[in-house]
């Protein structure tokens, strides 16, 4: 009977600056994100693949959450598994300790590379350079953990990736209180289940996540002065959310219009309570205002007259 092999390359890592934990993965396998990545903010990150034992995920996280170091967790999981020679797994614990296993029966090329706070692993790859380049790219990358993980995947693919091709990819990053609404640790959970260029699509989705679901920093925010308030009033009027005059005052009516529009466009994570506005939100509103004006009845005739 044919075995279902999750031939893939992945990286599990911890960010020492803020404690974020995550896994990124690509494979010639449908919906790899449903199998490989397992992450908890108070425990660690696990990638389970090859003849994947999915139980390694929840069982390993349970042990990590008790404070057991990654190497000990790995040994306990393998000791209880008669099929360990067919398994591949990478583990990073909440302290940044790492461990990995590539079973001797995994299909060539298969192997892993360990680094400071991360591990890269893969099987049925184009060669060892895939995991080597992933490790190098991760170490050299700047920014948040999510972006660094995707950069590592991209480097692995550039080195040949899965020798059979590509189909799916996933990114999971856990941060305490990092979810939508701040109630859970599911900071970033993105999946590309079936796509001809899954890493590129994953990167696009991460960009959307950053806009819609990542809270702005102070550097992202502009004061709503008279000029910005006037522009918002005009734009929100064009969008059908503001019916008052253009006063240049960020008053209650303007605030309510902005929050109402933000709710419609799912911008609530990026709109703040005080008299400031996220730069990206302002650009988004400008684009939407211009789209509405271009679609306004008579706008085409007006443009044609102007062009003549």
CATH superfamily name and code, 8-212: Aminohydrolase, N-terminal nucleophile (Ntn) domain (3.60.20.10)
Confidence tier at 161 by pLDDT (50, 70, 90): confident
pLDDT of 302 > 80? The answer is no
Share of the chain above pLDDT 90, in %: 90
> 296: pLDDT confidence band, cut at 50, 70 and 90?
confident
User: How would residue 26 be classed by pLDDT, with cut points 50, 70 and 90?
Assistant: very high
Q: So what's the pLDDT on residue 308?
A: 47
Residue 301 has pLDDT above 60, yes or no: no
- CA 109, 110, 114, 119 torsion-angle sign: positive
User: What is the band of 3 on the pLDDT scale with cuts at 50, 70, 90?
Assistant: low
Confidence band, pLDDT 50/70/90 cuts, at residue 298: low
Strand order in the sheet with 186-192: 111-115, 118-122, 8-14, 21-27, 168-174, 186-192
pLDDT at 304: 46
Residue 306 pLDDT exceeds 70: no
Q: What is the pTM of this model?
A: 0.89
Residue 147 has pLDDT above 90, yes or no: yes
196's tokens: 């001809």
What average pLDDT does range 194-216 have in this prediction? 96
Band of the pLDDT at 300, cuts 50, 70, 90? low
Residue pLDDT, tens place only, 39-84: 999 999 999 999 999 999 999 999 999 999 999 999 999 999 999 9
Quote the CA–CA distance of 217 and 270 in Å, as a whole number: 9
Percent of the chain with pLDDT over 70: 94
- Banded model confidence at residue 223, pLDDT cuts 50, 70, 90: very high
pLDDT for 15 beyond 60: yes
What does the chain look like in DSSP terms, one character per residue?
A: -----B-EEEEEEE-TTT--EEEEEEESSTTGGGTSEEEETTTEEEEEEES--TTHHHHHHHHHHTT--HHHHHHHHHHT-TTGGGEEEEEEETTS-EEEEE-TTSPSS-EEEEETTEEEEESSBS-THHHHHHHHHHHH--S-HHHHHHHHHHHHHHTT-BTT---EEEEEEE-TT-SGGGSSSEEEEEEE-S-SSHHHHHHHHHHHHHHHTSPPPGGGEEE--HHHHHHHHHHHHHTTS--S---S---HHHHHHHHHHHHHTT-TTT--SSSEEEHHHHHHHHHHHHHHHHHSTTHHHHHHHHH-
Mean pLDDT of the chain: 94
Average pLDDT on 156-163 reads: 91
Residues of the chain with CATH 3.60.20.10: 8-212
Residues found in the chain: 308
Q: So what's the pLDDT on residue 163? A: 82
Q: What is the reported pLDDT for 187?
A: 97
């Amino acid at each position: 009977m044919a075995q279902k092999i999750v031939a893939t390359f992945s990286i599990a890592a911890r960010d020492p600056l803020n404690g974020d934990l995550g896994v990124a993965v690509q494979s010639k396998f449908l919906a790899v994100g449903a199998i490989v990545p397992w992450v908890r903010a108070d425990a660690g990150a696990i990638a389970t693949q090859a003849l994947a034992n999915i139980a390694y995920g929840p069982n390993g996280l349970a042990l990590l959450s008790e404070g057991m170091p990654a190497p000990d967790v790995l040994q306990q999981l393998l000791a209880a598994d008669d099929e360990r020679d067919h398994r591949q797994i990478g583990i990073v614990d909440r302290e940044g300790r790492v461990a990995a296993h590539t079973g001797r029966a995994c299909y060539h090329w298969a192997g892993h590379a360990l680094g400071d706070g991360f591990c890269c692993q893969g099987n049925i790859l184009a060669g060892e350079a895939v995991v080597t380049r992933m490790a190098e790219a991760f170490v050299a990358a700047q920014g948040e953990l999510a972006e660094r993980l995707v950069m590592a995947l991209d480097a692995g693919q550039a080195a040949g990736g899965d020798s059979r091709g590509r189909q799916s990819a996933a990114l999971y990053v856990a941060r305490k209180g990092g979810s939508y609404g701040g109630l859970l640790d599911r900071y970033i959970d993105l999946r590309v289940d079936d796509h001809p260029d899954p890493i590129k699509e994953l990167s696009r989705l991460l960009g959307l996540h950053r806009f819609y679901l990542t809270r702005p920093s102070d550097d992202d925010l502009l004061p709503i002065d008279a000029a910005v308030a006037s522009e918002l009033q005009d734009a929100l009027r064009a969008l059908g959310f503001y019916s008052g005059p253009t006063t240049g005052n960020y008053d209650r009516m303007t605030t309510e219009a902005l929050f109402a529009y933000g709710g419609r466009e799912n911008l609530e994570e990026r709109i703040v309570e005080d008299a400031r506005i996220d730069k990206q939100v302002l650009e988004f509103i400008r684009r939407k205002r211009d789209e509405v004006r271009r679609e306004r009845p008579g706008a085409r005739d007006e443009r044609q007259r102007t062009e003549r």
